Amino acid sequence: MKRLLRGFFWLAAIAGVIVLLAPVVTSHFTQPPATQDSPRASRRAGGPRPSSDSTAVPVLTAPVVTRDVPVFIDGIGSGRAWNSVLARSQVDGVLLKLYFDEGQTVKAGDLLAKIDPSLYQAQYDQAVAKKAQDEAQLANARLDLERYQKLAATNAVNKQQLDTQRASVAQYEALVQYDTAAINSARTTLNYTDIRSPIDGRTGLRNVDAGNLVHASDSTGIVTVAQLQPIAIVFTVPQQQLDRINTATAAKKNGGGLVVEALDASGEHVIDTGVLSVVNNTIDQTTGTVQLKARFPNENLQIWPGSFINVRLRIETLKQALVVPATALQRGPTGPFVYLLKEDKAVVRPVTIGQQDDQQAVILTGLASGDHVVTTGFARLSDGAKVNAAEDQTLVGTETALHQISAMPPRGKRRAGMGAPVAENQSDGHAPGAPPSATQ
């Protein structure tokens, strides 16, 4: 029995060894012979190694361009009617008729609604009749005064009677003045039965139908009239931008307001252009922002009250600035730098950066128009490394404007073209001049 078990054991061991060696043996006998042109055959025959051009680092580059660069502060605002009026009744009565259609464009003075004027017409007629009565009494009192004056000259009446008649005339004159005021009051109340639009604008949905009893105390009113041409957009910007906005506003004081552009939902197309009209006098301490109000002509009703609108405020234009893509900027211990393309090599060039956003940056010193800088492929780059360069096609047609500076310029450098530091997430931690190994 033991022999039988031992035999099975050896058979299992031999089968295991065969299974393990089978891939090696198969690979050896099935591998095709090396050709003379293959790298392996080359090495066996002592042939040359691959060309050194394969060591060049593939990179993408972009040119340094000179152009006028508008600087914008971006924001999100909401449309507001330039004027909005709730048409309400100033008297009590039955609403006889509405003279407008919902959504109709109306002019100032157009009749919107009519309230039953019967009661107020009667009050007006009473005031007119009372004045006529008092005027008749005044005329009679004046005739009596003339008679008393003639009789007093002959001592036919005493002086007291003359003075009493003069007082009666003055009393009736005062009554006529009171009646005139009462007529004006009654006429005004009667006019309140005609509800007219106080502004040019567009009516909304009506709040009450004809036939209802309306009161002067009703808070709902009859209809809201909103002025849409022009229209306002109210938006907020960080309080850090307030100094720049005030400076730009002061510079534009004699040349019109700062330009504000309203964009469509995609943020790519300008739908209307207006001017900044108001900078709020208070900063919201809970959010650290300040409200701005811009006026737009809204000729085609592109902007509607209550809608959210992307806006950008142009605070300045940098004339003939040197511009590079923001992806070209790197930062080392001694400051920002770029990889400048020199023939077929990338060399480190320290630069001074002006304003920038997440797409492009203004270069103050260190580059010239026409230079090419590396924008992609930093992982294997070092100072003086040989590169295989190609044009970065993703930057073709990039917008020329700078948007919403994320950081304020340093103190003492808050002027056009100075200020915003390069983003730290583009740093590689190596100094210019040393062989850096930048990250993309």
Query: Would you say residue 355 lies in a domain?
Result: yes
Are 259 and 251 in contact, with CB atoms under 8 Å apart? no
The C-alpha angle 405, 406, 409, rounded to 5 degrees, equals 70
Which amino acid would we find at residue 329?
L
Measured CA to CA, the distance from residue 339 to residue 383 in angstroms comes to: 8
- Residue-wise pLDDT for 246-298, tens only, equals 988 888 776 678 999 999 988 889 999 999 999 999 999 999 999 999 999 99
Does 234 lie in the same domain as 203? no
What residues contact residue 64 under an 8 Å CB cut-off, 6+ apart?
322, 323, 324, 363, 367, 368, 369, 370, 371, 372, 373
Give the span between the Cα atoms of 176 and 138, in whole angstroms.
Answer: 8
Does residue 437 fall inside a structural domain?
Answer: no
Q: What share of the chain is helix, strand, coil (3-state, %, to 5)?
A: 30, 35, 35
Q: Same domain for 299 and 338?
A: no
Smallest CA-to-CA distance from 382 within 331, 426, 438, 343 is with 438
One domain for residues 331 and 409: yes
Residue 53 has pLDDT above 60, yes or no: no
Residue 196 has pLDDT above 70, yes or no: yes
* Number of neighbours of residue 75 by Cβ within 10 angstroms: 22
Residue with the larger pLDDT of the pair 354 and 127: 127
Task: Say if residues 85 and 177 touch (Cβ distance below 8 Å).
Answer: no
Report the 10 Å Cβ neighbour count for 79: 20
Query: Does 286 fall in a domain?
Result: yes
What is the full DSSP assignment across 293-343?
EEEE--TT--S-TT-EEEEEEEEEEEEEEEEEEGGG-EEETTEEEEEEEET
Domain presence at residue 10: no
352 & 266 share domain: no
The answer to whether position 385 is within a domain reads yes
Tokens (6 digits) for 185: 């009051």
Q: Identify whether residues 312 and 342 lie together within a single domain.
A: no
Task: Quote the CA–CA distance of 249 and 309 in Å, as a whole number.
Answer: 22
How many residues make up the chain in this entry? 440
pLDDT mean over 348-361: 88
Clarify whether residues 235 and 163 are in a common domain.
no
pLDDT recorded at residue 24:
55
Which residue type is seen at 261?
Answer: E
Q: Which two tokens stand for residue 116?
A: 């039953």
**pLDDT band with cut points at 50, 70 and 90 for residue 148:** confident
pLDDT at 366 over 50: yes
Q: Quick check: is 33 in a domain?
A: no
* pLDDT tens track for 293-334: 999 999 999 999 999 999 999 988 889 999 999 999 999 888
Q: What is the mean pLDDT of residues 165-177?
A: 93
**Maximum C-alpha span of the chain:** 179
Percent of the chain at pLDDT > 90 equals: 56
pLDDT at 430 (0 to 100): 42
Nearest Cα neighbor of 228 from 151, 299, 281 is 299
Amino acid identity of residue 48, one-letter, is P
Say yes or no to pLDDT of 43 above 60: no
pLDDT tens for 381-425 read 888 899 988 888 777 656 667 775 433 333 333 333 333 434 333
Round to whole Å and give the CA distance between 143 and 155: 18
Q: 276, 293, 318 — which closes off a domain? A: 318
Q: What distances in angstroms separate CA 403 from CA 124, 187, 234, 314, 396, one per listed residue?
A: 65, 59, 19, 9, 18
The pLDDT of residue 28 is above 80: no
Domain termination site, one of 318, 336, 351: 318
Q: Which residue has the tokens 């930093």?
A: 378
Same structural domain for residues 327 and 310? no
Domain containing 269 equals 73-82+227-318
Question: Lowest mean pLDDT: which of 148-162, 293-307, 317-331, 352-366?
Answer: 148-162
- Mean of pLDDT values over 167-192: 95
Write down the pLDDT at residue 137: 93
Given this model, what pLDDT does residue 352 score? 93
Q: What is the pLDDT of residues 81-131, one digit of tens each?
A: 999 999 999 999 999 999 999 999 999 999 999 999 999 999 999 999 999
Residue 283: φ, ψ to 5°? -95, 135
Is 351 contained in some domain? yes
pLDDT value of residue 393: 79
Q: What is d(CA 316, CA 69) in angstroms, rounded to the nearest whole number?
A: 9
3-class DSSP assignment, residue 275: strand
Last residue of a domain, one of 318, 335, 369: 318
State the pLDDT confidence band at 431, using cuts at 50, 70 and 90.
Answer: very low
Grouping H, G, I as helix, E, B as strand and the rest as coil, residue 409 is coil
Checking if the pLDDT of 231 tops 50, the result is yes
Task: Give residue 356's identity as a one-letter amino acid code.
Answer: Q
Same domain, 93 and 172: yes
Q: Residues 362, 377: one domain?
A: yes
Provide the domain count of the chain: 3
Q: Which two tokens mark 362?
A: 């203004």
Share the mean pLDDT of the chain: 82
Domain co-membership, 290 together with 330: no
pLDDT of residue 42: 39
d(CA 431, CA 118): 91
CATH number at residue 279: 2.40.30.170
Q: Shortest CA distance to 263 belongs to which of 75, 397, 401, 71? A: 75
- Residues 260 and 23: their CA atoms lie apart, in Å, by 74
Structure tokens at 367: 């580059």
Residue 359, in any domain of the structure: yes
Strands 402-403 and 65-87: parallel
H or E element, residue 387: strand 385-391
- Cα within 13 Å of Cα(260), Cβ side: 31
**pLDDT value, residue 232:** 96
Clarify whether residues 288 and 182 are in a common domain: no
Q: Same domain for 303 and 345?
A: no
Paired tokens of 202: 């567009």
Supply the pLDDT for residue 305: 95
